[in-house]
Amino acid sequence: MASQVQNNKDYNHLLSIWNDYFNKPAKETIDLQDNVHNMIILFYKLFQENDSIIEYQHTPNLIECKIDIQQLFKLIDDGEQLQSLFINDPQDWINSISLAISSLNNNKKVICRLHNIPLSKKLASQDIGKYIAIMGTIITTGSSKLLLERACFVCISCDEYEKYYVNSDGSIPKVNQCNKCGSSNTMKLDRNRSDAVLYQKIKLNELQIEVELRDLYVNCFMSGDEIIVHGIVKTIQDEQKSSLYVKYIQAYHVKHEQINESFTRHEIKTVNDLAKNGELFYALINNFCPSIYGHEIVKAGLLLSLVGGSTCNRNASHCLLVGDPGQGKSQLLKFAHLLSTRSIYVSGTAVSQCGLTCSVNHKNDDTIIDAGALVLADNGVCCLDEIDKMQSQHYALLEAMEQQTITLAKSAVMCQFYARTTIIATANPAQGHFNKTKSLIENLKIQNTLLSRFDLIYLLIDEPDMERDQKLSEHIMNFHNMKTSRIKFNNTDEVKTPNAYRTLNERLHSNQINQELPYQLMKKIIAHVKNIKSVLTLGAQKLIASYYLKIRQTAFGMPITSRQLESLIRLSQAKAKLCLRQEVTEEDAQFAIDIFEESRFDCFISGLGNQSTNKKGQASSINNSKNIGTLSKPKQTQIFLDELHKVSLQKDSYEFSMEELKNTARKINLQVGDLGDFISKLNYDCMLIMRGNNVYELNYKR
């Protein structure tokens, strides 16, 4: 390296600020045999000619300089030798760069921030003292303090002062004699003249290592932030055991992590072809959790929740899966967890309120805030399995689900964290199986204040169905034996309902796309479409507004408020995003209405006797919405039987002629194909008992 430095110029002025950056004795003149002196001269000359590689940020007291280390290596002829010195002793490297830039800027204090080095997946003992880069999520933030860097001692005899760097363990050095007058025991610490910097400690989740932040980085990051840290790995002696040392990182460059999921050319072509043909959304549904047979409506709702909307208040669309054991709720939840770029999975049987939100701890006069699952999942998904088991923590979810924040007020600490997370949860009935004669609240023991915050609630009930059970058993056997393609598992028979009026479930079945998408590609697609800003067209606005006004007049089971209107907007925006559109069309709005109607029926009609009443005391049911034709056949069947029960109470008889059955079906706009076959199926299931002469009796005890 000495060959690069020509001793034809006096560089001794560079040593005038040596003590500001080095904790070593300063020499009077430049020594070309000293590698540090050579580095200072090399960087001084290099930055004189290539000032453009430095990204300056000026503040009143110092200059912050960000440098891409890969660009710096390219500008140096002896790059390999210099890189070796950087690996072995990065502190001298950083101090030499800072001193050189400071000399070029009127000796103003400089902080050097080097970045763009490969990320380290783990830390070993060989990494101590080296400059590394790691990525992680902040789980703990400490309070900001002042850290003494150089202690100033004043001689009480001659009034001269000298500055000394603090020891490596943080202790203040002992100075007994004045170097000016030679007096002993006259040196007194002057705190006002000492050099101190802002200081804060944070802890990363992935490697469970503490990071030391200084200067401008203090109070810039919060618990839950995902960051990339460049710094030097150091050790400090444990407070309790003298032979034990703890690793930490002194950060020099910190930035928020930017997840860039890059697509290959083949993936771009596949996605564009599917989007051009309007098949992307249905292909994602077909490839969502292929181990679970059916449940296309639930899978579509989960995809909409993962993407979210583009509103100014909150973008998260929360989803709840309720049902009997063995219906695949946890598998669907884990697949949703797999598809999110930032996701936290929590089991309701092993979580506390602090584990969900945040906690405050005090250690050595330091206040430490530990982030919980909702804070760590900021701008991501929090998957809560068995939410019914965490009843004491339900109230902790209310603020996060609606205001998207977590407010902390305990132990003299007042702060607020972002919790812009989508909550996807599962729940089991309190009695093991869902009781249709009871409401959803009675089955789950969950308050309505929490249920009303979910945009979609799906009920998965285990009911015997010969045709479906046969296909389910074939699906499971084929999936485990790997005999057929996973896309073929979701195929169903041809829909018998006329195309003019098909249910949502039938429409999803009829749009089977035989395009296999690996979950890695699905993850990239969801991460990409989340950034699309979709806007409602005038037609979509009118359609959603008219539907909202209609259900406000015919509300059943739950109050219809502006929350439901905002849910419809978010769901329609998510549908447009999954089709790679920036405009929400009437088709997107209608799909959001249909899937919301399915969820609305699931949750608040749980058998006879659970119908709500309107202000006049009259029974109110979902058939007043005049939109039951989009519901699945089992749900239309239940509405039809509920309507027959209401008519039977009016005429005081459970017997109906075929003509009365047809009039009732026409009144509620029943769409189940051939009505005669439908009545025969009800007779076979003992819901309508044939008494002869085309007279049927309603079996109220069904």
In this predicted model, what pLDDT tens digit does every residue of 564-606 receive, in sequence order? Answer: 899 999 999 999 999 999 999 999 999 999 888 887 766 555 4
- Using DSSP, state whether 655 is helix, strand or coil: strand
pLDDT > 70? residue 3 = no
DSSP label of 177: B
Of residues 683 and 65, the one with the higher pLDDT is 65
Task: Name the nearest CA neighbour of 257 among 121, 376, 135, 377.
Answer: 135
The mean pLDDT of 416-423, rounded to a whole number, is 90
Confidence class of residue 472 from pLDDT cuts 50, 70 and 90?
Answer: low
Which CA distances in Å does 277 have to 271, 288, 299, 380? 10, 20, 21, 29
pLDDT > 80? residue 238 = no
**Rounded to an integer, what distance in angstroms lies between the CA atom of residue 284 and that of residue 515?**
9
**Rounded to an integer, what distance in angstroms lies between the CA atom of residue 485 and that of residue 497?**
27
Alpha helices in 89-125 (DSSP H): 90-103
pLDDT, residue 304, reads: 94
pLDDT above 70: percentage of residues in the chain:
83
pLDDT, residue 99, reads: 92
| Contact by Cβ (8 Å): 371, 140 | yes
pLDDT, residue 5, reads: 46
pLDDT, residue 543, reads: 93
Confidence class of residue 536 from pLDDT cuts 50, 70 and 90?
Answer: very high
pLDDT in tens, 20-34: 888 887 787 888 788
Confidence class of residue 525 from pLDDT cuts 50, 70 and 90?
Answer: very high
Structure tokens at 28: 């009077």
Structure tokens at 188: 């007194």
- Using DSSP, state whether 601 is helix, strand or coil: helix
pLDDT, residue 79, reads: 58
pLDDT, residue 575, reads: 93
Confidence class of residue 233 from pLDDT cuts 50, 70 and 90?
Answer: very high
| Residue type for position 627 | N
Structure tokens at 373: 């699952």
The mean pLDDT of 434-444, rounded to a whole number, is 75
- Out of 16-25, 268-277, 472-481, pick the least confident: 472-481
Confidence class of residue 451 from pLDDT cuts 50, 70 and 90?
Answer: confident
pLDDT, residue 9, reads: 54
- Out of 29-43, 93-107, 533-547, pick the least confident: 29-43
Confidence class of residue 466 from pLDDT cuts 50, 70 and 90?
Answer: low
Confidence class of residue 607 from pLDDT cuts 50, 70 and 90?
Answer: very low
Task: Name the nearest CA neighbour of 640 among 667, 614, 680.
Answer: 667
Structure tokens at 175: 């100075």
**Rounded to an integer, what distance in angstroms lies between the CA atom of residue 589 and that of residue 537?**
10
pLDDT, residue 478, reads: 62
Which CA distances in Å does 182 have to 156, 157, 176, 178? 12, 10, 10, 5
Structure tokens at 680: 């025969």
**Rounded to an integer, what distance in angstroms lies between the CA atom of residue 297 and that of residue 303?**
10
Structure tokens at 624: 């007043």
Task: Name the nearest CA neighbour of 171 among 183, 186, 189, 187.
Answer: 189
pLDDT > 70? residue 501 = no
Confidence class of residue 424 from pLDDT cuts 50, 70 and 90?
Answer: very high
* Phi and psi torsions of 348, nearest 5°: -65, -15
pLDDT > 80? residue 506 = no
pLDDT, residue 329, reads: 87
The mean pLDDT of 416-435, rounded to a whole number, is 86
Structure tokens at 143: 């309070």
pLDDT above 90: percentage of residues in the chain:
19
Structure tokens at 389: 């088991």
Confidence class of residue 207 from pLDDT cuts 50, 70 and 90?
Answer: confident
Burial classification of residue 466, based on how many CB atoms lie within 10 Å of its CB (0-12 exposed, 13-18 middle, 19 or more buried): exposed
| Contact by Cβ (8 Å): 700, 645 | yes
- Note the residue count of the chain: 702
The mean pLDDT of 657-686, rounded to a whole number, is 81
Confidence class of residue 504 from pLDDT cuts 50, 70 and 90?
Answer: low
Task: Name the nearest CA neighbour of 140 among 212, 229, 202.
Answer: 202
pLDDT > 90? residue 662 = no
| Contact by Cβ (8 Å): 421, 381 | yes
Of residues 97 and 500, the one with the higher pLDDT is 97
Q: What is the mean pLDDT of the chain?
A: 80
- Using DSSP, state whether 386 is helix, strand or coil: coil
The mean pLDDT of 363-379, rounded to a whole number, is 83
Which CA distances in Å does 2 have to 42, 58, 85, 527, 680? 9, 33, 14, 51, 98
Of residues 633 and 158, the one with the higher pLDDT is 158
pLDDT, residue 441, reads: 76
Of residues 53 and 171, the one with the higher pLDDT is 53
Alpha-carbon torsion (665, 667, 668, 669), positive or negative: positive
Q: Which single residue is written with the structure tokens 């945040």?
A: 358
**Rounded to an integer, what distance in angstroms lies between the CA atom of residue 619 and that of residue 613?**
5
The mean pLDDT of 457-482, rounded to a whole number, is 66
